[in-house]
Amino acid sequence: MKSTIGEAISITLFGESHGNGIGVLIDGLCPGITLDMDYINHQLTLRKPKGRISTARKESDEMNIVSGYFDDHTTGTPLCILMENSNTRSKDYSKTKDLMRPSHADYTANMKYLGFQDYRGGGHFSGRLTAPLVAAGSICNQILKKKGILIGSHLKQINNLVDDSFSQDEKELIQQIHEMNHAYFPVLNNKKQEEMIQLIEQHANDGDSVGGIIESTIINLPAGVGEPFFHSIESVLSQLIFSIPGVKGIEFGLGFDFVNHTGSEVNDTFYMDKEEVKTKTNNNGGINGGISNGMPITLKTVLKPTASIYKKQDTINFKSKEDTVLQIEGRHDPAIVHRARVVIDSVIAIGLLDLLTQRYGYLWMGEE
């Protein structure tokens, strides 16, 4: 029962939502890398709740690196990051600890951990654990950015409100990513932002929640990255993205829409652009055989409506084994899709750095 993932670069996640603290251990980083702390803190800010479209719980997310970083450089030994939990209200959960919240991990955690799990705020299953994921991913992301590899995501859809899609033009794509990575609620069509926020607020007023789709793209990843069969780009990124609470689906390139087309319609034909190999279309999302082909990698992630809603719901009392009715208390997000965007970027960075390190070696990270 491990909370560790990765081959050349591995991360171990630890802590609970209402415990003393949370954190992450990163192993496999090259020595001699200088970290941009302002960038990491900025990324953590993008994950924080803000306004009526998020939970009222506010945590400082102050990052404390306790090992693996000395004299402003990575040492090459495991890098450990700790974050304190300070704004908890655990009494909100003690009254309902035997009531299994619908679509939460309460029941399954009871079955797996025999009732010894920390149930407060979702415990180890809480979205609170995505804060150290963002910290780790921000370290990986800044290493990738130095290599010219950029990752960007936007809110593609909330209910029936649909944002524009990424441009196929690489220069425009880079500009879109650059602008979005500094936005708390990133969309490509600014008119959709206000409509989406109003929709979230409307459901929040009703004591309900909404889900959404996040579209991501990766540009300038060299061709030849990926370790088939079981560590293909799709395999690695999917496993990491599905570790984010609330994620229920992922598709690469055209994804499920492939079913509506023939091979002659969707095959990505190759052509030479001077000395560079490119494809005329990118329906496969920049991946063939689990390996990058040099085109932008595109994917979409579906997040379900937040499970914690204020409406009354049918459930069971796990202790008495009786049917009952639950109405939760506490502080909860009416939507997590906007906060999850930076988490998705972060775990993508972790997965890509792992795959790149497997291909080029860990000293590649430190090469200028």
**Binding-site residue ranges for NADP(+):** 47, 52
> CA of 53: how far to CAs of 127, 197, 311, in Å?
15, 7, 17
| Binding-site sequence positions for FMN | 124-126, 289, 304-308, 331
| Binding-site sequence positions | 47, 52, 124-126, 289, 304-308, 331
Match 């450990």 to its residue by tokens.
80
Assign 229 to helix, strand or coil.
coil
d(CA 221, CA 232): 14
Assign 309 to helix, strand or coil.
coil
Residue among 178, 155, 193 nearest 339 (CA): 155
Give me the DSSP letters along 83-127. EE--S--THHHHTTTTB--TTSSHHHHHHHHTT-S--GGGGGGSG
| Parallel/antiparallel/unpaired status of strands 79-84 and 63-67 | antiparallel
Assign 330 to helix, strand or coil.
coil
Match 């930076």 to its residue by tokens.
342
Helix ranges restricted to H, the chain: 37-47, 91-94, 106-113, 130-146, 170-180, 190-205, 233-241, 263-266, 337-360
